Amino acid sequence: MPKYSGVVKSQQYIDIDERFIKEVTQQFGTKERASYVHSRWGMEYAQKGDLKTAMYRLNQAWLLDKKNPESYHGFGYVLAQLGAFKEAMSQYKEGLALAPANRQMKIEVADIQKRL
């Protein structure tokens, strides 16, 4: 589920997240760049049909940068593939609030609106 389902994490998972953030920030230079890369990987997995791995990568992207519109785009895309159109629409709206000119998200929102 997007955003790790909003579950409150134990200290152990918080520590794991902090190590992950530190490692990928060093690898990619900034948290924002690492987030972008992870969101792209997430979309690649989603387009190949591996929705579980896609969501894993997209959650990592969101963890790194909650203002990365591509993570919300990916969440919406995966949820739409699962037939969870209302939930997908919610994620797309969050993404479009951050990137109102994102043409691809607008196209996908229009497609979902036809299904609701």
Residues 103, 76 contacting (CB under 8 angstroms): no
**CA gap 43, 116 in Å, rounded:** 23
Residue 52: both structure tokens together: 């579980």
Q: Is residue 103 part of a domain?
A: yes
Residues 68, 105 contacting (CB under 8 angstroms): no
pLDDT digits (tens, 9 = 90+) for 28-74: 999 999 999 999 999 999 999 999 999 999 999 999 999 999 999 99
Q: Is residue 1 part of a domain?
A: no
Rounded to two decimals, what is the model's pTM?
A: 0.94
Please tell me the total count of domains within the chain: 1
- Give the chain's mean pLDDT: 96
- The whole domain housing 76 covers 7-115
Q: Is residue 80 part of a domain?
A: yes
The CATH number of the domain holding residue 37 is: 1.25.40.10
Q: Is residue 11 part of a domain?
A: yes
Q: Is residue 70 part of a domain?
A: yes
